[in-house]
Structure 1
Amino acid sequence: MQELARIFGIRVVMRGDHLILSGELERLEEAVPLTQHLIELSRLRAPFDASDVARMAEDFRRRGGEAPAAEEAQLRIALPGTRKVIVPKSAGQAGYLASIQENDVVIGIGPAGTGKTYLAVAAAVNALYRKRVKRIILARPAVEAGENLGFLPGDLQEKVDPYLRPLYDALEDMMPAERVARALEERTIEIAPLAYMRGRTLSDAFVILDEAQNATTAQMKMFLTRLGLNSRVVITGDKTQIDLPKPADSGLLQVEQILQGIEGIAFVYLDGADVIRHRLVKDIIRAYAEADEDAAGGPGSGQGNESGNPKGSGLGGAGSAAGGEASPPLSDTNGERV
């Protein structure tokens, strides 16, 4: 709670089960809603640290001092059989998780470190643990950053594994390593290049396509039409990180226009406010965005808000949510760790 004291310029003292705040009335009025929210998170056994408190304080100020709705605090994932509890750490992340719960297809767009992949994997693992689906399928386009698999050493598995590693990392942060290994062996969890999805029908599954900005329009259509009965799909991507020879060929750019207004499909936009990494990541993202604007000739001429839509403009069905995110790095992820 010392971070709380530092941020608001108040005194915070713990006495038994009581938390005592003292200081100027105006500062106390600002600090109390966040303090109550932190107490609720503690009651739910949701972990948070000093950097989380600073981020939540910024989020509160952006809301005009309004506390998150009670339902938002309940948007946590307590993974059965583990002590891990994953919670959204921004309003954008909360909207993203809520959208995943309410829609069959969710497309999360935003910058690195906003937790797109991590939260999607957490929702998938939770669904598997609770027997809502029978398997998890995680896919990525196999070629990124201009590297062609044909020129990389090793057999096919050795070639694609580095590209899929972030998905393994997210899984291993939520499940015991031996359970991950067993699930992979039994194919309860499958991690594969996007091309391996062709010709399949994915039923009773939670399916995630990560780094979707590097899927072509044809690949995006192929992936979306794999959806079978009792399945959910989450697609994540960052439109500022397209590695295709022709960025305009990105299926992530096309899908917004093509699928707009279809009930059961939600678009969620995350942004710098949702970045859950080192405090400098947010500043780095902002600096690059400003540099892109300068190079393009001024504000609004660059990619800016990735979709061109204002934050909070959900396209799609009633489940559309708001937010805005930068594409996560290859080592990704979190609601928790990112």
Structure 2
Amino acid sequence: MAIGALTPPQDEQTGSEVLIEFPDNRLLIDLCGEHDRHLVQIESGLGVQIVRRGNHLSILGSDEARTQAAGVLEALYERLQEGRAVEAQDVDRELRMGGSDTDTGARDGDQLEMFTGGKVEIKTRKKLVEPRTDAQKAYVRSLYENELAFGIGPAGTGKTYLAVAVGVNMFLGGLVDRIILSRPAVEAGEKLGYLPGDMKDKVDPYMQPLYDALNDFLPGKQLAKLIEDKRIEIAPLAFMRGRTLSNAFVVLDEAQNATTMQMKMFLTRLGEGSRMVVTGDRTQVDLPRGVPSGLADAERLLSKVPGIGFNYFTAKDVVRHPLVAAIIDAYEVDAG
């Protein structure tokens, strides 16, 4: 619902000020956030000053920053009019996307229609997942459009999280019959020795990030039942050999730790009616010295093959703690 469906907000520009009226004072309270934390977040992100005057917000700053802040505030207000909450991550997303998303998102059966407007939402059992940067949005589109897609970039950019969300969405929509998630069982620079227990106990620590993502999208009992029925599988990359993966959504995470032969083996498992996603970070290779990364080879060999999507992320796409982006930048500068 557009803001104007209630009472059109009136913009008045006087010098370096934009004044916006928000008719519903209750929604305005939610828009501002507890102790005005959402306004503070917008002020910090755009370098503006926002002053509340009754049911008006006055924005002070440069022309460009004022315009962007107004767009962010109006997009968040529309979200509240639709009956949805506004959290810090929603403010962050609008700041990154410029407040330009105006569409109502995806609905059952029209996955590609979600890209005809602005806003993109991936529906799962527990939550709606929304890309928070332009690169994430392009990545999600690639996952729906390509049978094989690569997501390459630093940690914290949502490569795996979004891939699993799309997989759950396609599974719930009946587009695939199974979800298969895999990772190379490679230690990250330290020797852990022999782990106790059966095979599942030994490999589960390596697979935990995949379990974490699934737990965000599916209720615990349903997830446990789907895993028990083998409709969702989480397994080391080595377990993929000899299989043909048909009618499945398949994700290979941490692909930079797959060897060239492992990568070829995995990619050739693609069966009829399946989708594959390969995610990795070229800066975090844990293979033994001298062993080339299969992700780098796949990128070199397949980048011009039709029907394969390559999507790249940078530190600007990090959606974890803001310090993560600063840490990644510092390491990149030192390496460069």
After TM superposition, the score normalised by the length of structure 2 is 0.77
Query: Highest CA radius of gyration, 1 or 2?
Result: 2
1:109 maps to amino acid: I
Change (3 A) 1:131 1:292: same
Match of 1:28 in 2: 66
- Describe how 1:115-126 pairs up with structure 2 within 5 A: 115-126=158-169
Are 1:11 and 2:54 matched, yes or no? no
Are 1:78 and 2:123 matched, yes or no? yes
How far off its partner does 1:4 sit?
5.1
- Describe how 1:118-137 pairs up with structure 2 within 5 A: 118-137=161-180
- Describe how 1:164-179 pairs up with structure 2 within 5 A: 164-179=207-222
- Describe how 1:179-190 pairs up with structure 2 within 5 A: 179-190=222-233
Are 1:249 and 2:282 matched, yes or no? no
Q: State the distance in 2 between where 1:247 and 1:162 align.
A: 26
Q: State the distance in 1 between where 2:196 and 2:310 align.
A: 38
How far off its partner does 1:73 sit?
3.6
Q: State the distance in 1 between where 2:91 and 2:251 align.
A: 30
Change (3 A) 1:128 1:248: same
For each residue in 1:200-242, what CA deviation from the matched residue of structure 2 results, as whole angstroms up to 9, or x when unmatched?
A: 1100000000000000111111101000011000110000000
For each residue in 1:256-303, what CA deviation from the matched residue of structure 2 results, as whole angstroms up to 9, or x when unmatched?
A: 11102111100000111111111211111111222222xxxxxxxxxx
Unaligned runs of 5+ in 1: 61-65, 294-338
How far off its partner does 1:52 sit?
4.5
Change (3 A) 1:21 1:126: same
- Describe how 1:94-133 pairs up with structure 2 within 5 A: 94-133=137-176
Asked if the contact 1:201/1:227 (under 8 Å) is kept, the reply is yes
1:77 maps to amino acid: I
Match of 2:324 in 1: 281
SS of residue matched to 1:74: coil
How far off its partner does 1:39 sit?
3.5
Match of 1:202 in 2: 245
Change (3 A) 1:23 1:250: closer
Q: State the distance in 1 between where 2:54 and 2:150 align.
A: 43
1:185 maps to amino acid: E
2:121 maps to amino acid: R
Match of 1:155 in 2: 198
How far off its partner does 1:197 sit?
0.6
Q: Does 31-40 or 189-198 show the bigger shift? A: 31-40
Change (3 A) 1:248 1:29: same
Change (3 A) 1:262 1:278: same
1:255 maps to amino acid: A
Change (3 A) 1:168 1:23: closer
Structure scoring higher RCO (CA < 8 A, sep ≥ 6) equals 1
For each residue in 1:99-137, what CA deviation from the matched residue of structure 2 results, as whole angstroms up to 9, or x when unmatched?
A: 111111110001111101110000001111111100000
Change (3 A) 1:14 1:115: farther
How far off its partner does 1:28 sit?
3.4
Match of 1:302 in 2: none
Unaligned runs of 5+ in 2: 1-31, 104-114
After TM superposition, the score normalised by the length of structure 1 is 0.76
For each residue in 1:161-180, what CA deviation from the matched residue of structure 2 results, as whole angstroms up to 9, or x when unmatched?
A: 10001101110111111111
